[in-house]
Structure 1
Amino acid sequence: MSNANHEFPSGNTRAVKSIMSNTEIDIMQKNQEMEKENVPTTTWQKFMRALEVPHQEKPLSALRNPDLEPILIKERTWGFWSFFAYWGLPNFAVATFSTGSALLALDLNIQQSIGSLVIANVLIAVYTIMNSNPGVKYHIGYTLSQRMIFGIYGSYIGIIIRVGISVVLYGYQGWLGGLCINMVFDSFSSNYLNMKNTFPESVPMARKDLIGFLCFQLIQIPFAFVRPSRVNIPSIVTCFMTLFSIIGMLAYLVQTNGGPGPLYYEKVLLSSSKRSWMWLYSMTIWYSGISPAVANQSDYSRFSSGTLSCYLGLFIGIVLPGTFVSLAGMLCASACKGLYGSAYWTPNEIVEEWLNNDYSSKARAAAFFIGISFTGSQVFLNLTQNGYACGMDLAGIFPRYIDVTRGTLFAQLISWVVQPWTFFNTSSSFLNAMSSFGIFVTPIMTLNIIEFYWIRKSKITLIDFFTLSKKGAYWYSSGFNWKSISCLLIGVALGIPGLVYQSQPDLTMNSAMMNYYYGYMFFIPLVTGVLYCGLTYMFPDHHEKMCHVDPLDFFNCFSDAELQKLGMLPFEENLNDICEYLDAEEPQESKDRIIVSGEKKYENTM
């Protein structure tokens, strides 16, 4: 809270006090104590103060920094095309282009694979919309929603899961980005194209790949200092550049081959039962790759300038590119098999084939444009889906010392540790295990939807996210919500056997657990959701602030229309001193009497 002296307008103080309960006053006072800045006296205290994140006179505490607060109106600039691009990025990318290699390996053909992807994309869009509403309505991100689900301290569970996945995927996407930038370097020099590997055989990478990876990592680093809300425009540009590149590759290969190629005409020989499970598994594989982005959708939906534009942008950005790019990748691979005798599943393989066959100016120009396009999409994909996401989550663990910029830099530096080159160049089971990422985030998504819509009726208090007061709405039992944590653990545990069987095919598998794993996109929400609803029904939470919103716009983040809809009083700077004012001007007995006896400015309408 600010320590500046303000003169309260006549009648305003009583109006404010009249809508605040004793609990809300207590929470504000607790928060003020946490946010109070003491003058450092020792060398160690001065050193730790110097490490604190820049906060421009805004409150800073063990639970709060500016990057965790609800987004202000001036920063809510994302419209239809911004959300289309945000979801276009993971689709106009190397991983999606090569998805067909995993789906066709299930003994499905191209037509069957695309059918499963269409259904999966529609369901993913629905999941994403339902997960986006804490951000759309209250302008808060994934980190704060974890406090709502698991409790103030229990939230670290969901945050740590997302941080771990972000770091691994940052390295994975960074390696793919290095392959993309190598297409650009290949177009510059035939010597680079044919660079010999000087590493010993024990090193699972080529020198050329390492150079590309290093250059791609260096390109990404400066973007850590860009606010996440500001990368929407370059994301839109790179999405369309990559779209044109994919269309050009597809048109050239299919036309040159004289048709879609042999893979397109393959028959499906699976039995009806086996085919059904492979349809489920193909949907799960596709869902798993983008499930972390679905889970933390609120991190970006809070930038929305309008609810409808957000929903339409993400729905179309998920369904159309997600289906088209996968289909284009399969058709390109099929045409390559007809033309070159091998099915090439990544753009860099196709470009290298062109350049090796004919290092002409035409082929080099195509390599350059395709390389620039895919490199751009990989940069902003990795930043938005993994880098910034990691920064936002780490800010929730160490608010005093980590903001989005520092957390993104951490992901960039630590991603080397996961050695992403081993994912592609060894017999590592990582690529199989990638289909399991959704096991860890799907229960979180399910709990978020149930907690927000069913338990809290889409009404949450924001000031309680930043308090250690036992009266806070998200304190539960000693800061932990045992019901949601139990459901999370059970939901994850049921998927682990299938993950083990998938990673270790020599083991004798249990068919029931394997089938559960094949369809965990559907089964985990069912199991986790029913269990959580049952526990909540048997052990209901009777907190006095359940299904309530804040009486005041404490963070000055709502428009006048939103305030009227939520039934809040507008923010005024001098209201920051309400706790200090109450302490100084009136005894507690008088405060309690006034707080409960006044009239509200306007009633809740939701």
Structure 2
Amino acid sequence: MSFFSKLDDFFALDESNTMKNKDLVPMPLFRRKWGMMAYIWYWGISAMCAVTWSGGSSLLSLGLNGNHAMGIVVVANVFISIAAILNGYYGAKYHIGFSVFQRVIFGIRGSAFGVLIRSILSVVWFASESWLGGLCVNVVLSSWSRSYLNWENTFPDSVPMTNQQLCGFVVYLAITVPFLAVRPEYLDYLLAAATFAIFFMGIGITSWAVHVNGGKYGSLMNSPIDLSSSEMAWAWIYGLSSWYSSLTAGIANQADFSRFNKSPKGSSWGIFLGTNLTGFIVPLFGIISASALYEKYGVYYWMPNDICIKWLQDSYDAKSRAAAFFCGLSLVISQLGINCVGNCISGAMDISSLCPRYINIRRGSILVLLLSWPTQPWLFYNSDSIFLTVLSSFSVFVTPLIAIYVCDFYVIRRCQLKLSDCFLDSTDSIYWFDGGFNWRSFVSFLVGVAPGLPGLINAANPSITIDSGALHFFQGSFIFQFLITFAIHLILNLIFKVNVGQGDEIDIYDTFKPNECARYNISPYRRNEGADVSDFGREKDSTNPEKLVVVSSETE
């Protein structure tokens, strides 16, 4: 295949319209390539990256010690895995992504609301993780050149970054571009490489930290706690909420990747094992290494890239350079894994649904990457910006969404969807509701979000005081908001019933295996070779080219 043919394939949007393109329709069988191990790698790298390495510091800041912090991580990961499985099952069963499911929840026209919330979150997190990725790139480049390590900053004090940081950021984005051209179903290999890389890097750094401290782990794990039983309980609840909040984006859009599964059971087991078997490892590495190095040097090193830079600054010999290079390379690979898949690809899927005629996953990915510049992630880390605090509290908006999804899919619809109606922009769709909007979901969302806003405002500006009740609600928002939103949505739908409808009688999009067709009581997909059949498994009516008719499974 020539270069121009490949380029044409990159930008191709055949058979697209205002409601669908090849990346939005239910995944056909040939694109369902993820087995259980792929989901272990996906959630493994979500919990094993530079951000989670430093996650223990936020838990220790609540007045807890390392043992309690790790207890919170283990318990929170159980909640996270269950929430991800529940929220990803519609994708695992029907092979549609987060953005298409918004049409079921908010209506054909109202779906843009949920999509925009998730798109904004994807862009901001991608920019933030890219900046960290640039810092990791600097570790590698510094191991190659002492001049680069000691690069003098020529930017004025008004610019909240250095020449070196800007260079690393640009290089990281350039490295990212080739991975965005890879179809998502093949990125499990990158996730596997990233998980192994960060795991062995963590073992190396933690072993070194304990070794230089004379074989001692330091005092953070067992330091005394000066909290009352009530304060301890709320510290645990807030810690659980904080850890959960760091992964709400992945929970919300789990269906974007569950839809690539070879079997629903495989994805569920992969999510559970990936979250709970690997989720505690990197935070534990971070706490132990920080504890040992503080006892040795009197300084807390909470970021692994800072530890690598310290090696080079203390001794720029071959051993230090080699160690920094391989650890830096592992960090870069891990950042590529979590950022390309968890943020960029997810954001691209969302953006694609807003304008499917012109934007597919690849185009959307490039757009997310370009938007990382106006997001200005350097302000998150190199200034007094409170944006990261607010971003980590964004679960105030995401948790009510998750509650609506779970209630609507499992209780209201009893796991029943009509896929063909998800792509009809007309009153013929059962997901049209009232003028294209499902007002029940909007009301449920607003009622669920409102009680958490005072706490969010206080987090953004601590000078604004709130009463203890509002503060405690915010600290346990991942529980309280979920229950309130779930109850409100259920009540509204019991009073103002929606048309749940029946599922499709035929596998229109060549999505299901024969045993799945039998289980879901639908007829298998068949292509009528003598007719003009689109790539979406539908036959065009010769008398009306605009009308699409389902290809009958009886046709030979």
TM-score (norm 2): 0.93
1:17-56 matches, within 5 Å, as: 54-56=12-14
Which amino acid letter does the alignment assign opposite residue 119 of structure 1?
A: V
Judge conservation of contact 1:179–1:212 (CA < 8 Å) in 2.
yes
Deviation at 1:271, TM superposition (A): 1.4
Aligned to 1:142: 98
1:240-251 matches, within 5 Å, as: 240-251=196-207
Higher-Rg member (1/2): 1
After alignment, is 71-80 or 156-165 more displaced? Answer: 71-80
Deviation at 1:582, TM superposition (A): 8.8
Aligned to 1:192: 148
Gaps of 5+ in 2: 1-7
Residues 1:566 and 2:527 are matched in the alignment = no
Compared CA separation, residues 583 and 156, structure 1 to 2 (3 A): closer
Among 507, 530, 540, the alignment partner of 1:553 is 507
Mapped to 1, the partners of 2:501 and 2:275 lie a distance apart of 32
Judge conservation of contact 2:396–2:456 (CA < 8 Å) in 1.
no
Which amino acid letter does the alignment assign opposite residue 555 of structure 1?
A: Y
1:296-335 matches, within 5 Å, as: 296-335=253-292
Judge conservation of contact 2:67–2:222 (CA < 8 Å) in 1.
no
Aligned to 2:296: 339
Judge conservation of contact 1:169–1:386 (CA < 8 Å) in 2.
yes
Residues 1:522 and 2:476 are matched in the alignment = no
1:152-171 matches, within 5 Å, as: 152-171=108-127
Aligned to 1:428: 385
Compared CA separation, residues 210 and 579, structure 1 to 2 (3 A): closer
Judge conservation of contact 2:13–2:358 (CA < 8 Å) in 1.
no
Mapped to 2, the partners of 1:417 and 1:552 lie a distance apart of 46
Mapped to 2, the partners of 1:331 and 1:372 lie a distance apart of 22
Which amino acid letter does the alignment assign opposite residue 566 of structure 1?
A: Y
Residues 1:272 and 2:229 are matched in the alignment = yes
Mapped to 1, the partners of 2:437 and 2:447 lie a distance apart of 17
Judge conservation of contact 1:73–1:558 (CA < 8 Å) in 2.
yes
Residues 1:482 and 2:439 are matched in the alignment = yes
Mapped to 2, the partners of 1:171 and 1:468 lie a distance apart of 33
Deviation at 1:53, TM superposition (A): 5.9
Which amino acid letter does the alignment assign opposite residue 185 of structure 1?
A: L
Residues 1:283 and 2:240 are matched in the alignment = yes
Mapped to 2, the partners of 1:199 and 1:175 lie a distance apart of 18
Aligned to 1:107: 63
Judge conservation of contact 1:262–1:337 (CA < 8 Å) in 2.
no
Judge conservation of contact 2:32–2:262 (CA < 8 Å) in 1.
yes
Judge conservation of contact 1:80–1:310 (CA < 8 Å) in 2.
yes
Aligned to 1:93: 49
Mapped to 1, the partners of 2:148 and 2:452 lie a distance apart of 45
Residues 1:221 and 2:182 are matched in the alignment = no
Deviation at 1:442, TM superposition (A): 1.4
Aligned to 1:201: 157
Among 291, 307, 311, the alignment partner of 1:354 is 311
Report how many residues are paired: 534
Aligned to 2:82: 126
Mapped to 2, the partners of 1:459 and 1:581 lie a distance apart of 32
Judge conservation of contact 1:109–1:263 (CA < 8 Å) in 2.
yes
Aligned to 1:13: none
Report runs of 4+ in structure 1 exceeding 3 Å deviation.
Answer: 575-579, 581-584
Residues 1:374 and 2:331 are matched in the alignment = yes
Among 56, 61, 84, the alignment partner of 2:17 is 61
Judge conservation of contact 2:29–2:511 (CA < 8 Å) in 1.
yes
Mapped to 2, the partners of 1:284 and 1:181 lie a distance apart of 31
Among 407, 418, 421, the alignment partner of 2:375 is 418
1:501-520 matches, within 5 Å, as: 501-520=458-477
Deviation at 1:404, TM superposition (A): 0.6
Aligned to 1:580: 541
Which amino acid letter does the alignment assign opposite residue 199 of structure 1?
A: F
Deviation at 1:493, TM superposition (A): 2.2
Mapped to 2, the partners of 1:516 and 1:164 lie a distance apart of 25
Deviation at 1:247, TM superposition (A): 0.8
Compared CA separation, residues 581 and 201, structure 1 to 2 (3 A): closer
Please give the per-residue CA displacement for 1:239-274, whole angstroms capped at 9, x wherever unaligned.
Answer: 101100001111121132121113223211111111
Please give the per-residue CA displacement for 1:133-177, whole angstroms capped at 9, x wherever unaligned.
Answer: 111111110011111111101110000000100111111000000
Secondary structure at 1:129 match in 2: helix
Among 455, 464, 468, the alignment partner of 2:421 is 464
Mapped to 2, the partners of 1:490 and 1:409 lie a distance apart of 36
Aligned to 1:234: 190
Deviation at 1:459, TM superposition (A): 1.2
Which amino acid letter does the alignment assign opposite residue 231 of structure 1?
A: L
Judge conservation of contact 1:142–1:299 (CA < 8 Å) in 2.
yes
Mapped to 1, the partners of 2:383 and 2:276 lie a distance apart of 33
Judge conservation of contact 1:284–1:435 (CA < 8 Å) in 2.
no
Mapped to 2, the partners of 1:547 and 1:136 lie a distance apart of 20
Judge conservation of contact 1:63–1:399 (CA < 8 Å) in 2.
yes
Mapped to 2, the partners of 1:468 and 1:207 lie a distance apart of 50
Mapped to 1, the partners of 2:543 and 2:119 lie a distance apart of 41
Residues 1:73 and 2:29 are matched in the alignment = yes
Compared CA separation, residues 342 and 495, structure 1 to 2 (3 A): same
Residues 1:252 and 2:214 are matched in the alignment = no
Mapped to 2, the partners of 1:536 and 1:559 lie a distance apart of 33
Secondary structure at 2:33 match in 1: coil
Please give the per-residue CA displacement for 1:376-398, whole angstroms capped at 9, x wherever unaligned.
Answer: 11012111111111110011110
After alignment, is 346-355 or 170-179 more displaced? Answer: 346-355
After alignment, is 435-444 or 61-70 more displaced? Answer: 435-444
Mapped to 1, the partners of 2:473 and 2:146 lie a distance apart of 50
Please give the per-residue CA displacement for 1:292-323, whole angstroms capped at 9, x wherever unaligned.
Answer: 11100000001111222212211121122221
Judge conservation of contact 2:404–2:441 (CA < 8 Å) in 1.
yes
Residues 1:263 and 2:224 are matched in the alignment = no
Aligned to 1:177: 133
Which amino acid letter does the alignment assign opposite residue 570 of structure 1?
A: P
Secondary structure at 2:160 match in 1: coil
Mapped to 2, the partners of 1:249 and 1:505 lie a distance apart of 36
Compared CA separation, residues 208 and 459, structure 1 to 2 (3 A): same
Deviation at 1:583, TM superposition (A): 7.4
Judge conservation of contact 1:458–1:547 (CA < 8 Å) in 2.
no
Secondary structure at 2:541 match in 1: helix
Which amino acid letter does the alignment assign opposite residue 223 of structure 2?
A: E
Deviation at 1:501, TM superposition (A): 0.4
Mapped to 2, the partners of 1:218 and 1:316 lie a distance apart of 33
1:363-402 matches, within 5 Å, as: 363-402=320-359
Deviation at 1:564, TM superposition (A): 1.0
Judge conservation of contact 1:457–1:547 (CA < 8 Å) in 2.
no
Mapped to 2, the partners of 1:77 and 1:499 lie a distance apart of 40
Judge conservation of contact 1:183–1:367 (CA < 8 Å) in 2.
yes
Secondary structure at 1:89 match in 2: helix
Mapped to 1, the partners of 2:501 and 2:83 lie a distance apart of 23
Judge conservation of contact 2:48–2:281 (CA < 8 Å) in 1.
no
